[in-house]
Structure 1
Amino acid sequence: MRIVDTHLHLVYQERVRYPWLAGAPALNRDFTLDEYWPAAKAAGIEAALHMEVDVAEADMEAETAFVTGLGAPVVGAIAACRPENEDFPALIERYAANPGVKGLRRILHQSPDELGRRPLFQENLRRLAPLGLTFDLCVLARQLPIAIEIARAAPDVQFILDHCGVPNVKDQALDPWRADMTALAELPNVAAKISGVIAYGDPANWTVADLRPFVEHTIEAFGWDRVVWGSDFPVCTLTADLTRWVAATHELIAGASDDEKTKLLSTNAERIYKITA
């Protein structure tokens, strides 16, 4: 069954700067398309969206230009942005001129909680709708109420919640994550991404059973028409590898129909992110 990976990170340190990598020694090296693609292809991945890698702010557009120029299997990019900045409208006009840019993201889980609540931040996000650009929400589980505020403030924008809302899988902390996910799913302009969860389990010994309640509740809350899949490569390599995460995904959805599996693994991504062949 073909897979569209909606969350591929590539690292090319000679091209752009990644300040955060200095504090992440296990990831502080290049992760190239040549490394990703053989394992991805063998696992059934046929296309991928590049997800911005929190590069230095001055390098955001350079990263986007580079990855959208790579060609197949990279079919588009989620570009970095700063909605809190006054120059955001000009930035997104430049992004919108690049057909490879499908959406934007501003990481919030390492930012002050008030950032996403700023009036300018929310006003700027509303500018994405006329341009047909999505916005990926990357928040901690405790920040899900903030994600609800952001999505509610821009009802015409398509949002995608990354990593099942970053739950604490290791401690099986289902609540209040579960209630907050249900509340977020009530907003029709939000979809959820089944990605990243292996990074939040026991790094030495996570199991599919550990992941199951979080993945199943996400799918139950959002429904099969509003879920997509992502590898979170290379972050997934911290606790497993791409092959194992794909295998775990297939095990998690084994009881679903072929139509439901196809929606999660490819067709929802193509519709939500406007990916064309």
Structure 2
Amino acid sequence: MTVDAHHHVWDLSVRDQDWIPEDSPLRRTFTVADLAPEARAAGVDRTVLVQTVTVPEETPEFLALAAGHDLIAGVVGWVDLTRPDIADELARLRDVPGGDHLKGIRHQVQGEPDPEWLLRPDVRRGLAAVAAAGLVYDLVVLPRQLPACARVAAALPELTFVLDHLGKPPIASGALDRWSADLGALAALPNTVAKLSGLVTEADPAAWKVDDLRPYTLTALDAFGPHRLMFGSDWPVCTLAATYAEVTDSARELLGGLGEQERAEVFAGTATRVYGL
């Protein structure tokens, strides 16, 4: 079995994706029907659908999608972590159609100008509510925000933090040391997990090679181990640099040196366990 622990969908007729440049090939609708044949061809059995925009309407829509598609096993949605009634909002989402598919929450921390946004008292209160609801929290951050991730994860040991895209390492520049040290500090905390996802678009999108990704993948494997790493395609964002098949094939090549059981953890076991799929 293979789980794709990170992908998106969006319908531009329903809602704009204002983060997509006007001239980008991503500026079109991507649906589950577009994903399904590519996932099947790559041997992917189940997926986790992850939020794209910070609007409250998106999460119920994603939960309804999950209820109607066997491919989607879980949803990482969005709520405003700073709202005073966040516990009530999380409970409400559990009651909407498909609410049992809600597995985690995410916010575009990468877009916050404050590198310590995660450490704000109102945000930490919201994160504690996420933990109390039995959900996990996905971190989409830039490398400079990794130290704050480690500090908040240490302060909230009851919450599992899932680092998306390995914290967006600077693959295109080849820089490794600073990111590696900060990743290691986060991985030293037992309540942290990371996604082997989004790497092809952090490399040179037009000329990346599997070997470009190898030092970052091996660093993450050394830091987290296969039992705390999970594969994700980051489709359709990955299509800026690679097809769905190329992303899955490159991950399998990068992990080819692991034993069968260890590969099974990265490609299914970790995501199934962490997200409760």
- Is the pair's TM-score, using the shorter chain for normalization, greater than 0.5? yes
- Asked if 2 retains the 8 angstrom alpha-carbon contact of 1:102 and 1:134, the reply is yes
Q: How far has the Cα of 1:204 moved from its partner?
A: 1.0
Q: How far has the Cα of 1:152 moved from its partner?
A: 1.6
Q: Write out aligned runs for 1:195-206 (5 A).
A: 195-206=197-208
Question: Hey, what's the Cα distance between the residues in 1 that align with 2:19 and 2:201?
Answer: 17
- Which of 62, 65, 89 in structure 2 is aligned with 1:64? 62
Q: How far has the Cα of 1:261 moved from its partner?
A: 0.3
- Asked if 1 retains the 8 angstrom alpha-carbon contact of 2:87 and 2:133, the reply is no
Identify the range of structure 1 (46-55 vs 184-193) with the bigger mean alpha-carbon deviation: 46-55
Q: Write out aligned runs for 1:251-262 (5 A).
A: 251-262=253-264
Q: How far has the Cα of 1:34 moved from its partner?
A: 1.2
Q: How far has the Cα of 1:89 moved from its partner?
A: 2.3
Partner of 1:10: 9
Q: How far has the Cα of 1:36 moved from its partner?
A: 0.9
Q: Which amino acid aligns with 2:89?
A: L
Q: How far has the Cα of 1:20 moved from its partner?
A: 2.2
Partner of 2:243: 241
- Which of 218, 222, 225 in structure 2 is aligned with 1:223? 225
In structure 2, relative to structure 1, the CA distance for the partners of 1:133 and 1:21 (3 Å cut) is: same
- Asked if 2 retains the 8 angstrom alpha-carbon contact of 1:60 and 1:81, the reply is no
Q: Does 1:273 align with 2:271?
A: no
- Name stretches of at least 5 consecutive residues in structure 1 with no aligned partner: none
Identify the range of structure 1 (142-151 vs 180-189) with the bigger mean alpha-carbon deviation: 142-151
Question: Hey, what's the Cα distance between the residues in 2 that align with 1:54 and 1:151?
Answer: 24
Q: How far has the Cα of 1:61 moved from its partner?
A: 3.5
In structure 2, relative to structure 1, the CA distance for the partners of 1:24 and 1:137 (3 Å cut) is: farther
Q: Write out aligned runs for 1:106-125 (5 A).
A: 106-112=107-113, 113-125=115-127
Q: Does 1:146 align with 2:144?
A: no
Q: How far has the Cα of 1:123 moved from its partner?
A: 1.4
Determine what percentage of the aligned residue pairs are the same residue. 33
Give the paired residue count. Answer: 273
SS, match of residue 7 in structure 1 = strand
Q: Which amino acid aligns with 2:39?
A: A
Deviations 1:2-52 (A, max 9, x none): 310111101122334433235563211101111111111111100111001
Q: Which amino acid aligns with 1:194?
A: L
SS, match of residue 206 in structure 1 = coil
Q: Which amino acid aligns with 1:146?
A: A
Question: Hey, what's the Cα distance between the residues in 2 that align with 1:123 and 1:152?
Answer: 14
SS, match of residue 245 in structure 2 = helix
Q: Which amino acid aligns with 1:250?
A: R
- Asked if 1 retains the 8 angstrom alpha-carbon contact of 2:21 and 2:27, the reply is yes
In structure 2, relative to structure 1, the CA distance for the partners of 1:152 and 1:175 (3 Å cut) is: same
Q: Which amino acid aligns with 1:172?
A: G
Q: Does 1:101 align with 2:102?
A: yes
Deviations 1:180-200 (A, max 9, x none): 011000110000100001101
SS, match of residue 199 in structure 1 = coil
Question: Hey, what's the Cα distance between the residues in 1 that align with 2:226 and 2:56?
Answer: 38
In structure 2, relative to structure 1, the CA distance for the partners of 1:16 and 1:142 (3 Å cut) is: same
Q: Which amino acid aligns with 2:41?
A: A
Partner of 2:85: 87
Question: Hey, what's the Cα distance between the residues in 1 that align with 2:249 and 2:9?
Answer: 22
- Name stretches of at least 5 consecutive residues in structure 2 with no aligned partner: none
SS, match of residue 271 in structure 1 = helix
TM-score (norm 2): 0.94
Question: Hey, what's the Cα distance between the residues in 1 that align with 2:33 and 2:52?
Answer: 17
Q: How far has the Cα of 1:153 moved from its partner?
A: 2.1
